[in-house]
Chain A
């Protein structure tokens, strides 16, 4: 009689262990699934924060002030300023449309997504990473490049701000002038530079390896010159 009883107890213990194992495993699986979903929501939010921030925040925080400053200096036409608002406005409309459609098609999911903690956290982290770039010289240089190609090229008021290609590329110096300069001694060169100083707009700086002459082009505006140590040219270098 004792044997069947023992066997029954063992079977019950085995069933209990199996049930516990299954329960624990299901909990673990649920936890893992929840964590993966949270991570994906965080990544999606961060990507959206970076992308939308680049389209909406940067034009407002970087492009707009720079455009206002350039217009105030007379380098860009006034239309450059409202154009900085165009892209953020377009993206506002796109985002509003997406949210509206989402609430129309799947209201529960859309609301849950918008209220999701990981999604919001990701969005904020993405936006913060983007704004951090405003304090980086490298990123500012990139933004300046974008601004140059998107705005300066379209709204520049001076030829010097336009794309210099082909016939716009001005000559810096001629071969004849270079030949003449390389035939001079230091004292001859310095004499030429001193005589060039007499011409309007020329500046002279004495240097250890020879004098420097420079000039200012008010049309560009740009400083240029056989800077340094040489050059007998008597015209403003016209490189664009």
Chain B
């Protein structure tokens, strides 16, 4: 997520969409597991936010795991970006 043409990105969003009902276990457990894995991978150099959304047909066709990575050292920016992400979230997903 870029704020303009000159700066590096303020956030990196990785979204994964699975057929609804195929993500195992409670969403909170999966969220912690992903946070742990991504945190270990990035060696605490970045802030991360993980959102696990589960759906059941016909309400939604996909379970979603979305990982947002923020550069270090700017908590205010992270909050701002999270708000922007919520506002700009597309109504439909692939």
Bin the interface of chain B by size: 35 or more
Stretch at the interface among A3-11, A85-93, A108-116, A173-181: A173-181
**Cβ–Cβ contact B14 & A185, under 8 A:** no
Within 8 A of B (CB), among A194-240: 203, 208-210, 214, 220-231, 237, 239
Within 8 A of B (CB), among A121-149: 137, 140-141, 143-145, 147-149
Stretch at the interface among A15-23, A40-48, A159-167: A159-167
How far does the Cβ of A175 sit from chain B's closest Cβ, in whole Å? 5
- Report the separation of the CA atoms of residues A175 and B40 in the bound assembly, to the nearest whole angstrom: 10
- Report the separation of the CA atoms of residues A153 and B25 in the bound assembly, to the nearest whole angstrom: 10
- Report the separation of the CA atoms of residues A5 and B28 in the bound assembly, to the nearest whole angstrom: 88
Looking at the complex, which one of B2, B12, B55 makes contact with A178 (CB distance below 8 Å)? B12
Q: Which residues of B contact A231 (CB under 8 A)?
A: 12-14
- Residues of chain A at interface, number, CB under 8 A: 53
Instruction: List B residues at the A interface (Cβ < 8 Å).
Output: 1-9, 11-22, 24-26, 33-34, 37-38, 41-43, 45-46, 54-56, 59, 62, 65-67, 69, 71, 88, 93-94
Known: A172-B38, A222-B22, A231-B12. 16 other contacts (CB 8 A): A137-B56, A140-B59, A149-B25, A163-B25, A175-B42, A185-B6, A185-B7, A186-B7, A209-B3, A209-B88, A222-B16, A223-B94, A224-B15, A225-B14, A226-B13, A239-B34
